[in-house]
């Protein structure tokens, strides 16, 4: 899960025939007659060109011409490189977000579309079509996480009795999260919003690392997607969830949380001064307000994860209820019902994951555009 390390090649040869062979060399990235890049593991290929005089050095971040970015990920995460490329490749000296993006996509899909039987079908469909369409490989990944979600919910093609009975038969202890239990709805929504907040905060931390690597330390401190954002957003979410789940916070926790929140507000108000934006007080407070709205919007978007999980469970409940009303057609109703729900829900969940992926990547996208 990294970016392929490159070597800077300063070409000293002037012979046209030699340069022509260099341009055709596999894995060599030509920029000019006297400059190019080649993967560090492929440097030995340069020696195969007769009479080629060159000097190999490590790329420097201060150089105007940066090495090409080639993503190199483990086979499990490799299909997700397409999503990263769609939003924009990271800079050469930055972190490769593919692993993190893939993990978030898979976890969110598994929560929204948790069913053991339907997850198995997704894997089978992915294996069948992976040769014709590369993106189908992703179905095998999300199918695996759907199976995990299905075990959590105790759902097998929408039936919530089969898995507990099998576990009991083998004398295995088993606990499941009952989605349609009214007492669990609030906990589910709080969980997914908290999970989304953590995903966004981790993305901001990755962005801070990239900004430091790019020697943009002031931006890393004062930007919305920098230390200021971590303090503001992180403290608000920590205080809110601490108050909800602990039925109140200790005085020390309040002091620490409010101190971090105050630090975040101060950094936001100082941002126009240090990043050379409009230095007016009005602009500073407007920037703070817009950032708060942005963070709230991103957090609320993750509520849809819980809503889709509930919708999937409710639809499958209807399917099994209809099957119980017409015993003679029960098998047909279950098959058609599962097909309908899979076609509808899986497609919607897929698009929702893509939307949430943008929310997670937003800090990095903004940084790359600045």
What pLDDT, on the 0 to 100 scale, is given for residue 253? 82
Of residues 71 and 366, more confidently modeled: 71
Q: Is 286 helix (H, G, I), strand (E, B) or coil?
A: helix
Q: Residue 168 is encoded by which pair of tokens?
A: 């009991």
Confidence band, pLDDT 50/70/90 cuts, at residue 369: very low
Mean pLDDT value across residues 317-325: 92
Mean pLDDT value across residues 103-124: 93
Quote the mean pLDDT of the chain.
87
Mean pLDDT value across residues 106-129: 93
Q: Residue 202 is encoded by which pair of tokens?
A: 């981790």
336, exposed or middle or buried, with CB in 10 Å at 0-12, 13-18, 19+?
middle
Tell me the angle at which helices 303-325 and 347-369 cross, rounded to the nearest 10 degrees. Answer: 170
106-115, 240-249, 338-347: lowest mean pLDDT where?
240-249
Of residues 305 and 132, more confidently modeled: 305
122-126, 229-233, 243-247, 325-329: lowest mean pLDDT where?
243-247
Cβ-Cβ contacts under 8 Å for 357 (sequence gap 6 or more):
83, 101, 104, 105
Q: Is residue 58 pLDDT above 50, yes or no?
A: yes
Q: Is residue 189 pLDDT above 60, yes or no?
A: yes
Mean pLDDT value across residues 99-117: 92
Tens of pLDDT, residues 10-19:
988 888 888 8
Domain ranges of the chain: 2-68
What pLDDT, on the 0 to 100 scale, is given for residue 365? 54
| Residue 264 to residue 226: CA distance in whole angstroms | 10
Q: With contact defined as beta carbons under 8 Å apart, do 239 and 249 qualify?
A: yes
Q: With contact defined as beta carbons under 8 Å apart, do 335 and 64 qualify?
A: no
Q: With contact defined as beta carbons under 8 Å apart, do 117 and 156 qualify?
A: yes
* End-to-end Cα, the chain, rounded Å: 25
Instruction: Return the closest-CA partner of residue 189 out of 267, 111, 254.
Output: 111
Total-model pTM = 0.87
What pLDDT, on the 0 to 100 scale, is given for residue 82? 86
Q: Is residue 233 pLDDT above 70, yes or no?
A: yes
48-52, 94-98, 258-262, 366-370: lowest mean pLDDT where?
366-370
| Residue 213 to residue 285: CA distance in whole angstroms | 29
Instruction: Return the closest-CA partner of residue 104 out of 180, 203, 183.
Output: 203
The secondary structure of residue 345, as a DSSP letter, is I
- In this structure, the chain runs to a length of 370
Q: Which CATH number fits domain 2-68: 3.30.70, 3.30.1330, 1.10.3710, 1.20.1300?
A: 3.30.70
The 3-class SS string of 27-91 reads: CCEEEECCEEEEEHHHHHHHHHCCCCCEEEECCCCCCCCCCCCCEECCCCCHHHHHHHHHHCCCC
What pLDDT, on the 0 to 100 scale, is given for residue 103? 92
What pLDDT, on the 0 to 100 scale, is given for residue 271? 81
The secondary structure of residue 26, as a DSSP letter, is T
| Residue 80 to residue 101: CA distance in whole angstroms | 8
1, exposed or middle or buried, with CB in 10 Å at 0-12, 13-18, 19+?
middle
Mean pLDDT value across residues 107-126: 93
State phi, psi for 71 to the nearest 5 degrees.
-80, 140
| Residue 127 to residue 133: CA distance in whole angstroms | 10
Mean pLDDT value across residues 277-298: 81
Ramachandran category for residue 223: left, alpha or beta (phi over 0 → left; psi -120 to 50 → alpha)? beta
Cβ-Cβ contacts under 8 Å for 304 (sequence gap 6 or more):
352, 356
């Amino acid at each position: 899960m990294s970016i392929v390390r490159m070597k800077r090649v300063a070409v000293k040869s002037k012979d046209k025939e030699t340069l022509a062979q260099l341009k055709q060399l596999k894995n060599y990235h030509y920029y000019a007659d006297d400059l190019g890049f080649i993967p560090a593991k492929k440097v030995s290929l340069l020696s195969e060109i007769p009479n080629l005089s060159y000097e190999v050095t490590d790329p420097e971040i201060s150089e105007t011409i940066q090495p090409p970015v080639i993503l190199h990920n483990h086979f499990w995460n490799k299909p997700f490189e397409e999503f990263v490329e769609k939003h924009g490749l990271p800079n050469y000296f930055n972190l490769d977000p593919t692993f993190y993006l893939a993990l978030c996509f898979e976890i969110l899909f598994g929560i929204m579309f948790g069913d053991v039987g339907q997850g198995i079908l997704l894997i089978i469909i992915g294996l069948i079509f992976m040769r014709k369409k590369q993106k189908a490989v992703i179905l095998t990944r999300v199918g695996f996480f759907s199976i995990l979600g299905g075990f959590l919910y105790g759902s097998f093609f929408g039936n919530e009795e089969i898995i507990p009975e099998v576990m009991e038969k083998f004398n295995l202890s088993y606990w499941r999260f009952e989605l349609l239990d009214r007492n669990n709805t609030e906990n589910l929504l709080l969980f997914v919003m908290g999970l989304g907040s953590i995903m966004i905060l981790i993305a901001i931390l990755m962005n801070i690392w990239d900004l430091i690597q790019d020697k943009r330390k002031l931006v890393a401190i004062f930007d919305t997607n920098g230390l200021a954002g971590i303090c503001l957003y992180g403290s608000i979410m920590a205080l809110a969830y601490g108050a909800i789940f602990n039925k109140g916070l200790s005085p020390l926790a309040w002091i620490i949380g409010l101190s971090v929140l105050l630090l975040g507000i101060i950094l936001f108000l100082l941002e126009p001064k240090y990043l050379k934006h409009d230095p007016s007080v009005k602009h500073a407070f407007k920037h703070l307000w817009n950032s708060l709205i942005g963070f709230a919007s991103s957090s609320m978007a993750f509520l849809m994860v819980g809503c889709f999980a509930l919708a999937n469970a409710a639809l499958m409940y209807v399917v099994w209820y209809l099957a119980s009303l017409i015993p003679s057609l029960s098998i047909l109703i279950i098959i058609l019902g599962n097909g309908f729900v899979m076609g509808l829900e899986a497609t919607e969940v897929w698009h929702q994951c893509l939307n949430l992926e943008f929310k997670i990547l937003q800090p990095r996208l903004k940084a790359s555009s600045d």
